[in-house]
Chains A and B, each alone.
Chain A
Amino acid sequence: MNSSPTGPRTPAYQVSPNAIGLWTLQGVISSIFVLAAAVVAALVVPEQMPAPLRFLAAAAPYAAGVYAVVAVAIRPRLRYRVHRWEVTEESVFTLTGWLAQTWTIIPIARIQTVDINRGAMQRLFGLASVAVLTASSKGTVEIVHLDAGLAGAVAPDLASRAAAVRDEAT
């Protein structure tokens, strides 16, 4: 049990690979809006505006282009790499974030409710999220974008195990 030099352990499982598709679609949609806004800003900029602002407006479409490349081609894969989760005998364990990472571990005995959330886009890709709530506003965990079938198996399992060992001390 020697501690890692950098941080806590990495949970075992990744989210569903379909999540990449969902994140890419979300990136495409947001890129369209950002690009449209940037192009409009560049086209309608008034002549009498001070030079730095005019330069910013002119540069906006290029910045939006960079954003689009990141949002569509890079960010979905990065996210897929950093989201990890695990359910052990006694706990739910997740890791999220890239520049700033957050590990969360919750004992099954302290789980109050387990929700399955399926957004419209998630349904399109056959995905579902499992949200685990405790008595603490900060002690919540959401395992996003699991395969819908897997989420449907994990959530009831967690809920029934939590009911069996529930600890009301809090």
Chain B
Amino acid sequence: MSVPPPMLAERRLDWRVLVVHTLTFKQARAILSSAGPLALIVALQGNLGSFGLIAIAVLVTIASLVFSALRWWRFSYQIDAHRLLVRQGLVSRSERAVPLDRVRGVDVEASPLHQLFRIAVLRVDAAAGTGADDEAVLDAVSLTDAGRLRELLLMQRVVDRSAVPAAEAVEAAEAAPRAPEVAAERVFARLDPRWLLYAPLVGSYLAVPLAIGATLLREVDSLPIPAGLRDLVEIPEQAGAGRIVLSLLGALAVVVVGALLAGAVANWGFVLASRGSNLVAQRGLLTRRTVSLEIDRIRGYVLSQGLGIRLVRAARLTALVTGLGDQNRRGQLLPLGPLHVAEEVAAAAVRRFDTPLLAHPPAALRRRLFRAIGPPALVAVVLALLDLPVAATIAAVVAVASVALGVDRYRALGHAADAGALAVRSGSVLRRRVVLEQRALVGWRVRQSWFQRRAGLVTVIACVGAGEGGYDVLDCSTAQGLDLVAAVSPGWSAAISW
């Protein structure tokens, strides 16, 4: 190969990180967590004047600075011919070597404080053996270094790969030196701020204000809230119905606004674009995250719709990437957006899948209904036998309402195969459509319970080395299941059919 490997002499992190770590007590936190309460007790007992408090604060800050400096002093990284080497540790030194051809992705993340000092945290995600979390974190390097390092780490991988087949070697050698500048960007998606209005319909964003609210409620008595405001928060013993409704509406408004804020903080300015051989996603209002995904490693996508966003025809899109940890967060191709936009992004950035899905047989509907209605109906009968008519009635109503759930779950079921991929859909409360490339398959699993055997159904599980490891084709007919297996993996799967 005529391309020299990217070398980078051993060097330290950016010194400005000292300021950030000192201020956030990053290194000193472990020690402070034990010393902190002690100091608080001393302070609360009133033996300390304001002078003492200031002295403690100064001491703590100096301690934090010392710890940060020690870490900075003993932390170094370098890139040699084939590896990223990270050395750290004050007394016991540890050295982590990440082979460059194992690098799956490079994330750049900057908290507001990091942004202020124009530095960023670089996270190098590498494929390791199963389970081992192999990640090298450089906290932190300057913004320019972060960009350069990402190019270096990701470029080397491209060069290495194209070096393998002899036929392409010449072409690659010519193309590679230009690779860093090419950066042919194609923008696949850009978050329309209006899409953030979907956030209050998403459970994970709703959870943020609820969690904060729950914490505040627990602490409400100790908080210095003026009496007038406290009246608004607390419902008096003899409250009128109007007052309760008003309080509930107020709480609802707070939760909705909180969810909007949480969604905006996480996703503001989301952009998905291709850069060289990578898909790069950027997002975040305060902490700006940049995630690079190697296009060669993408094996499919998941379109997921919780009940709330399904009602307004929205969806979120996640890529299935082999060897990528924390797929749900890092593989996001569109955090929130209208269904048709999500579908277009999936078709453009991953692959188009237009084959209509096959419905599952009516026996699958009976099974979904039975499983939806069965448990609440059983509870209703037991409650009725125990002579608890009110509770039994409620359970019976739930059982009747579950008919809709069962029907909806059945209508979700479907699967299809085209020339290079398969698609599976299921779920009601969380509906997911998974599209998987054929080459991602590492096996099939077919499950059949005693009830399924009587109904002539099977559950086919496509085993893949990405995402959750397996995706279920729930309750298709035996013939459908075997047809799918034969269509997607002709040849090696022949043994499973009669």
Q: Are A100 and B470 in contact (CB under 8 A)?
A: no
Asked if A1 and B498 sit within 8 Å, CB to CB, the answer is yes
CB-CB under 8 A for A136 and B470, given A107-B493, A170-B440: yes
A24: CB under 8 A from chain B?
A: no
Q: Please report which residues of chain B, range 403-460, place their CB below 8 angstroms from some CB of chain A when the two chains form the complex.
A: 439-450, 453, 456, 458
1/0 contact string of B465-498 vs chain A (CB within 8 Å)? 1100110000000110111010001011111111
Q: Is the C-beta of A3 less than 8 angstroms from some C-beta in chain B?
A: yes
Indicate if the CB atoms of A105 and B130 lie closer than 8 Å: no
Main secondary structure of the interface of A (DSSP, over half): loop
Q: How far is the CB of B66 from chain A (nearest CB, A)?
A: 44
Cα distance A42–B445 when bound, in Å?
44
Q: In the complex, which residues of chain A have a beta carbon less than 8 angstroms from the beta carbon of B447?
A: 100-103
Q: Is B274 an interface residue (CB 8 A)?
A: no
- Chain A, residue nearest B447 (CB): A102
Contact of B271 with A by CB under 8 A: no
The answer to whether the Cβ of B191 comes within 8 Å of any Cβ in the partner chain is no
The size of the chain A interface, using a CB distance under 8 A, is 37
Residue A169 at the chain B interface, CB threshold 8 Å? yes
Partner of A7, one of B439, B448, B464: B448
Contact assessment for B442 and A134 in the assembled complex, using a CB-CB cutoff below 8 Å = yes
Tell me, yes or no, whether A36 is within 8 Å of chain B by CB.
no
Contact of B439 among A91, A134, A169 (CB under 8 A): A169
Is A8 in contact with B442, judged by CB distance below 8 angstroms?
A: no
A90 interface residue, CB < 8 Å from B? Answer: yes
Option from B458, B489, B497 in Cβ contact (under 8 Å) with A107: B489
**Interface residues on chain B, number (Cβ under 8 Å):** 40
CA A108 to CA B465, docked complex, whole Å? 15
CB distance from A78 to the nearest CB of B (A): 14
Contact with B along A58-78 (1 / 0, CB 8 A): 000000000000000000000
Q: How far is the CB of A160 from chain B (nearest CB, A)?
A: 17
Contact check, A139 vs B442: say whether CB atoms are below 8 A apart.
yes
Nearest A residue to B466 via CB reads: A170
A86 at the interface (CB under 8 A from B): yes
Question: Which listed residue (A2, A7, A11, A104) contacts B443, Cβ 8 A?
Answer: A104
Assess whether A170 is in contact with B498, with CB atoms less than 8 Å apart.
Answer: no
Interface residues in A1-59 by Cβ distance below 8 A to B read 1-9, 11
Task: Return chain B residues, CB-CB under 8 Å to A104.
Answer: 443-446
CA distance A9 to B446 in the complex (A): 11
Interface residues as binary, A107-149 with B (CB distance below 8 Å gives 1, 0 otherwise): 1111000000000000000000000011111110100000000
A155 CB–B CB distance under 8 Å: no
Kindly state whether residue A153 has any CB partner on chain B within 8 Å: no
Contact B446 A7, beta carbon cutoff 8 Å: yes
Which residue of B299, B445, B446 has the most chain A CB atoms within 10 A of its CB atom? Answer: B445
Cβ contact within 8 Å between B497 and A3: yes
10 new A-B contacts, CB < 8 A, other than A2-B498, A6-B448, A109-B492, are A3-B479, A5-B456, A9-B498, A90-B491, A93-B495, A105-B496, A135-B130, A137-B470, A139-B465, A170-B440
In the complex, 16 of the A-B residue pairs with CB atoms within 8 angstroms, ordered by the A residue number, are A3-B498, A6-B453, A7-B478, A8-B496, A9-B496, A90-B494, A101-B448, A107-B441, A108-B492, A110-B443, A135-B130, A136-B463, A136-B464, A139-B443, A139-B445, A170-B440
